Amino acid sequence: MTPTERPMPPLNADEHTNLAAWLDFYRATVAVKCDGLTDDQVRHASVPPSSLTLMGLVQHLTEVERNWFRRVLTGEDVPPADGAPAGPDGPDGGFELSGGRAFAGVCAGWQEEIAVSRANCAARSLGDTAPFMGGEVSLRWIYTHMIGEYARHSGHADLLRERIDGSTGV
């Protein structure tokens, strides 16, 4: 897959494959929206008055991957992902830009986190659960939540990218 291609989710697959494929589709959508931009462009808050940037979105998605597929699903005790600065009440979810990080490094960290997410899901069934908020959350729920998270942020990325250089679509 090249940076400008997205994997088409299968039209007829089992539920686990379908959910994983749709999540990968939206992961790739965000990557496409960032493709070909400079470090300055991905740091540019192009839709005032919002301070949202493409780099902040990728940092946030890295942290979201880490949270749901490591902290929640596997119970792993991991610190905030690089680029998710801790504030007085904990990490801000990665939206705030950390000084001096190159976008290539941010993307590499995101891809590494995605690889861990995929590995943590590979041997689990959709009905497998983990403790969450005094109850249990299933992998099916986590996948569904993550698809929504990425779909929403793909729309944000589309608007940000269009304001940066006029690129639309995908």
pLDDT tens digits, residue range 22-79?
999 999 999 999 999 999 999 999 999 999 999 999 999 999 999 999 999 999 999 9
Question: To which CATH superfamily is domain 15-165 assigned?
Answer: dinb family like domain (1.20.120.450)
Q: Is the pLDDT of residue 86 over 70?
A: no
Give the list of residues 6+ apart from residue 41 with CB closer than 8 angstroms, or none: 54, 164, 165
Domain definitions of the chain by residue range: 15-165
Tell me, what's the pLDDT at 4?
57
